[in-house]
Amino acid sequence: MQLTTKAIVLTSLKYSDTSLIVRAYTASDGLKSYMLKGVLASKKGKVRAAHFQPLTQLELVAVHRNSGNLERIKEAKVLYPYQSLHTDFVKSSMALFLAEVLANSLLEETADSAMFDFLETVLLWLDTHDSISNFHLGFLLELTKYLGFYPDDSEAHLDYFDLLSGGFVAKPSLNPMLDGEILGVFKALLGTNFDVVHQVKLRKEQRQELLRRLLLYFELHLHGFRKPKSLEVLQDVFEHYI
């Protein structure tokens, strides 16, 4: 079936000398994988390799057969030309990281308009703002709402957060826990909108430790979630430039 849909590029993998395999999150069908035959050999046409950088927002004319095989893109155009996301060194490093997180998290071939709207909104915000030191932390927490495991903050006055149960507890157990200083940082970020999350004051080591714990939280709640390979690059960039 041919259709027109919005899509956000997650990954682009070279296949042979001239082709790409692209994974994208679509408004119409959720996660989709496409074979782009010959796209690397063609500098003209309605589908160009330059369209498929991580987190690019596209409008696709695609053929979805929904047979479990790779789908086909007939036309692609950029819906929103980013001002800085792919040219600013820090933002482009964050984009690689976020795209990898999403590729490991969004596994359903099912439309989810709330998830798609959220991604559109936060990516446009990231592109047009400069105060982004805590953006990835706020993004991960907000993403858990749409994935179904947002932390239960009904007893946030308690002294420990159980990463496995997803709630605050009075006493520690053998489960991975947040406590002490890092728990205070976690509480400060909970319920803070991504557009003001930069106002939470964090030291570099706090930011890195909380990121590590949040990724563990994803691993515990998402089957098959893998720590992003781009994490080390992002942490190195933040160590030297933020």
DSSP 8-state symbol, 129: -
For the chain, report the end-to-end CA distance as a whole number of angstroms. 47
Which pLDDT tens digit goes with each residue over 3-20? 999 999 999 999 988 999
Question: Collapsing DSSP states into helix, strand and coil, what is residue 74?
Answer: strand
Q: What is the mean pLDDT of residues 99-128?
A: 95
- Measure the CA–CA gap between 224 and 221, rounded to whole angstroms: 9
Question: Collapsing DSSP states into helix, strand and coil, what is residue 30?
Answer: strand
Determine the distance from the C-alpha atom of residue 4 to the mean position of all C-alpha atoms in its chain, rounded to a whole number: 23
For 121, the enclosing helix (H) or strand (E) is: helix 113-128
Residue 44 has pLDDT above 90, yes or no: no
Residue 240 has pLDDT above 80, yes or no: no
Q: Show the domains of the chain with their CATH numbers.
A: 2-78 (2.40.50.140), 89-241 (1.20.1440.120)
- Helix, strand, coil % in the chain, rounded to nearest 5: 40, 20, 40
Cα-flanking dihedrals φ and ψ of residue 78, to 5°? -75, 125
Virtual torsion, Cα 40, 44, 49, 55, nearest 10 deg: 180
DSSP 8-state symbol, 201: -
Rg (CA), the chain: 19
pLDDT band at 46 (very low <50, low <70, confident <90, very high): confident
Q: Are 105 and 146 in contact (CB under 8 A)?
A: no
Residue 42 has pLDDT above 90, yes or no: no
pLDDT band at 164 (very low <50, low <70, confident <90, very high): very high
- Measure the CA–CA gap between 91 and 95, rounded to whole angstroms: 6
User: What is the pTM for the complete model shown?
Assistant: 0.93
Neighbours of 8 (CB within 10 A): 21
Question: How is residue 70 written in tokens?
Answer: 């790779």
Which pLDDT tens digit goes with each residue over 90-109? 999 999 999 999 999 998 88
Residue 45 has pLDDT above 80, yes or no: no
Which pLDDT score, from 0 to 100, does residue 30 have?
A: 95
